[in-house]
Amino acid sequence: MSDLQPVRGTHDLLPEDMRRHRRVVETARAVAERYGYLEMATPIFEFSEVFKRTLGDTSDIVTKEMYSLTDKGGEALTLRPEATAGIARALISGGLSQHLPLKCFCAGPMFRYERPQKGRLRQFHQIDIELLGVAQPAGDVEVIACGAAILRELGVFERTSLELNTLGDGESRAAYRAALVGYFAAHRDRLSVESRERLERNPLRILDSKDPADRAVIMDAPRFGEYLNQQSQDFFAAVTEGLDALGIAYQRNPLLVRGLDYYCHTAFEFVTTELGAQGTVMGGGRYDGLVEIMGGPATPGIGWAAGIERIAMMLAETPPARRALAVVPVGHGAEKPAVILAERLRRAGYAVELGYGGNLGKRLKRADKLGAAAAIILGENELAKAVASLRDLDSGEQTTVPLADLEERLARYR
């Protein structure tokens, strides 16, 4: 037996897992369409510069987690660690800034070299929506509401809570950053090595630290709300009023931040206690400076991403597989007509299983094992009369049906 295994941090989506995965994606796609977000896809690898510009040369993702390579043409490429950068790149390279607002939905694999654990993989999958070209707080409300609607449709919304914060505008952020640097510099000796490094390059990320010593220092750190100018306060008030109007409950989390300078105003996460340490189910925020730092026109944006595996783990039950019909030929003379009948029914929209060998008993056992709803038995006697025997595999009831009327009689199994 081969000892080959999946690469660490990856997994196979076997049929039962895939049904959960598809349930998340198909539900999200349908709900997003109701909000006007249409599906698009970007390549799973980009020039490395796309992510270095957007995620920052000193971010953990860029320095530790990206899967990067040099191709045979000498180009530096990276498997995408997240979706937003590729969408912003598509906006610029595709000339889509002439058609704003851009509302898009994406789903697909992402790649990060992280320590695998429950709810965290090295190849993982996300659903993602982005709203580009809308600067008003109504955009933030809509994006959050769409995320809430997807979680609600999947039956997991009530087991999450929405955490919300504001990062303010550029002026407010600069004032807060200065206050934070001053505070953490005064407590440098109490910080972890990683947080000391962040103090030099990205001090807001210290607020994300899980190190116990860092958490003790963070408890007394200045809060963003103390440095918000009036414009930032008004923007956040409009977002919270919009959520209140829609009946979407939230709680303020002053430690919820995004470390890069192009993030501003709203930051949010839907979190749960059901997934251990990986409690974030969906997270996002406003990134008005992103497209501009990539070389495009100044374009406001807001969006979120959600882990498909994490949501799939929260589904109450695995969606059932579609129940097929089994076409069962009896005798050599029925084999070819059975193949023709199976193809006819498939073209009519039915899922059909056709046994490849064995007597009637074995084929019916296989049909039952596959969870088929009914068996269509076709023998030489049936063929001579242009009929089939239709057996309901739940009740055991068997009737004779003219072949010409078969699709009509099978409608209840569709």
pLDDT of residue 327: 94
Task: Judge if pTM exceeds 0.85.
Answer: yes
Distance, CA of 305 to CA of 294 (rounded, Å) = 20
Averaged pLDDT score across all residues of the chain: 91
Q: Are 37 and 103 in contact (CB under 8 A)?
A: yes
pLDDT of residue 263: 87
Q: Are 273 and 310 in contact (CB under 8 A)?
A: no
Which residues lie below 8 Å from residue 321, measured CB to CB, with a gap of 6+?
Answer: 15, 19, 371
Instruction: Copy the structure tokens of residue 164.
Output: 């919300």
**Which of 64-68, 203-207, 249-253, 365-369: highest mean pLDDT?**
249-253
Q: Are 328 and 375 in contact (CB under 8 A)?
A: yes
The region that residue 176 occupies, defined by phi over 0 for left and psi between -120 and 50 for alpha, beta otherwise, is alpha
**Over 50: is that where the pLDDT of 92 sits?**
yes
pLDDT of residue 56: 67
pLDDT of residue 367: 85
pLDDT of residue 52: 84
Percentage of the chain exceeding pLDDT 90 = 65
Model confidence over 376-400: pLDDT tens digits? Answer: 999 989 999 999 999 999 999 999 9
Residue spans of the domains in the chain: they are 15-169+229-314, 325-413
pLDDT of residue 1: 44
For residue 267, give the nearest of 285, 282, 252, 249 by alpha carbon: 285
Q: What is the DSSP letter of 280?
A: E
pLDDT of residue 60: 63
- Give the residue-averaged pLDDT of 284-288: 95
Instruction: Give the CATH number of domain 15-169+229-314.
Output: 3.30.930.10
Q: Which CA distances in Å does 361 have to 183, 375, 381?
A: 78, 12, 17
Res. 202 pLDDT band, cuts 50 70 90: confident
Which regions of 73-122 does DSSP assign to beta strands (E)?
A: 76-79, 102-111
Among 256-265, 292-301, 348-357, the minimum mean pLDDT is found in 256-265
- State the CATH class of domain 325-413: alpha beta
pLDDT of residue 54: 77
- Give the residue-averaged pLDDT of 188-213: 85
Instruction: Copy the structure tokens of residue 280.
Output: 């974030």
